[in-house]
């Protein structure tokens, strides 16, 4: 004798809904991962810029002139530093040193770099020697 009953299992609609939910979760996780990678790149660029600015600040203090006057912005050490910053940071980055007051010598180290989707970012570090 055959007994008819309901078969246990999933219908095609239930399987498609579960698959859609799974794909939405994977897509959300992928977007989150891509955003984390972008933020990590931006953070790494900011760390490099800060390291370069700090190294130039120490070099400016070490190269302090005896008369207390600031070094000119076209000094060989500053020019070499600008070239090195251009090689280390992403394409489109700019670095410059603004010379301020005379005694004590004041400088402002400015580094600018592009960030995808956010426009240019900059770092300004005032230095007094």
pLDDT score, position 1 = 58
d(CA 5, CA 58): 84
pLDDT score, position 73 = 80
Kindly give the residue spans of alpha helices, DSSP state H, lying in the chain: 12-62, 76-88
d(CA 12, CA 95): 61
pLDDT score, position 69 = 75
**The sheet that has 119-128: what strands, in order across it?**
94-99, 106-115, 119-128
Per DSSP, the three-state class of 72 is coil
What residues of the chain score a pLDDT lower than 50?
none
What are 83's two structure tokens? Answer: 């070239």
pLDDT score, position 7 = 66
Please state the length of the chain: 129
Q: Is the peptide bond before 40 cis (omega within 30 degrees of 0)?
A: no
Q: Give the pLDDT confidence of 27-44 residue by residue, as tens digits.
A: 999 999 999 998 998 999
Mean pLDDT score across all residues of the chain: 88
Crossing angle of helices 76-88 and 12-62, in 10° steps, is 170
């Amino acid at each position: 004798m055959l007994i008819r009953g309901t078969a246990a299992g999933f219908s095609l609609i239930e399987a498609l809904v579960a698959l859609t939910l799974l794909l939405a979760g994977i897509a959300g996780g992928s977007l989150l991962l891509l955003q984390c990678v972008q933020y990590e790149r931006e953070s790494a660029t900011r760390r490099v810029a800060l390291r370069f600015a700090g190294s130039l600040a120490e070099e400016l203090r070490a190269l302090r002139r005896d008369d207390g006057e600031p070094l000119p912005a076209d000094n060989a050490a500053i020019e070499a530093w600008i070239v090195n910053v251009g090689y280390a940071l992403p394409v489109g980055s700019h670095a410059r040193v603004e010379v301020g007051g005379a005694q004590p010598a004041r400088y402002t180290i400015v580094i600018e770099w592009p960030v995808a989707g956010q426009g240019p970012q900059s770092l300004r570090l005032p230095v007094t020697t």
